[in-house]
Amino acid sequence: MKDVSWLRKRQLGGAEAVGAKAANEIDIIATATIAYSSEDPAHPIEPAFDGCGPGATRWIGARDNTVEHIVIEFDRPQAISRLSYEVKERALERTQEVGAEISDDAGRSYRHFFVQDYAFSPRGAIYQGEEQRFHRVQVDISV
């Protein structure tokens, strides 16, 4: 297995991208720590930020049928105007919810930013690429 220790990361306690970048894209690797609720050892969190695109590497949580969390803890506040992500489900028919909360007070409080639902079926939709755009928002932490 390839050593993927280039990403600063930490596992969340309890229940709780290396490709070419656009000129205004935040370099997550250089500016943030990634906190996460779990990771499958064969599919750790690093691929969620490698910029490889559809059909490439991926992160998979270690727990089935459990809400998983990823927290991007920025070293300093960032202005965000776009969020891109991909959601895949190859084996089960289910609904997947992706949501984001943001903090502008160093994580003391959070507010809902968006929630999006996706329906997956192994005989139909198995992949959804998404790009959320919004007016620039100043954040300390993004979930």
pLDDT, tens only, 33-61: 999 999 999 989 998 888 776 667 788 88
Of 2.40.50.140, 2.60.120.260, 3.20.20.70, 3.40.640.10, which CATH number belongs to 9-142? 2.60.120.260
Total-model pTM? 0.72
Direct distance between the N- and C-terminal alpha carbons of the chain, in angstroms, rounded to an integer: 28
Is the CB of residue 69 less than 8 Å from the CB of residue 36? yes
- Mean pLDDT of the 91-107 span: 85
Angle at 84 between CA 87 and CA 113, to 5 degrees: 95
Say whether pLDDT at 140 is over 50: yes
Query: In this structure, are strands 94-103 and 32-36 parallel, antiparallel, or unpaired?
Result: unpaired
- What are the boundaries of each domain within the chain? 9-142
- Mean pLDDT of the 1-9 span: 70
> How far from the centroid of its chain's Cα atoms is residue 139's Cα?
15
- Going from the C-alpha of 80 to that of each of 25, 54, 66, 140, the distances in angstroms are 9, 23, 28, 10
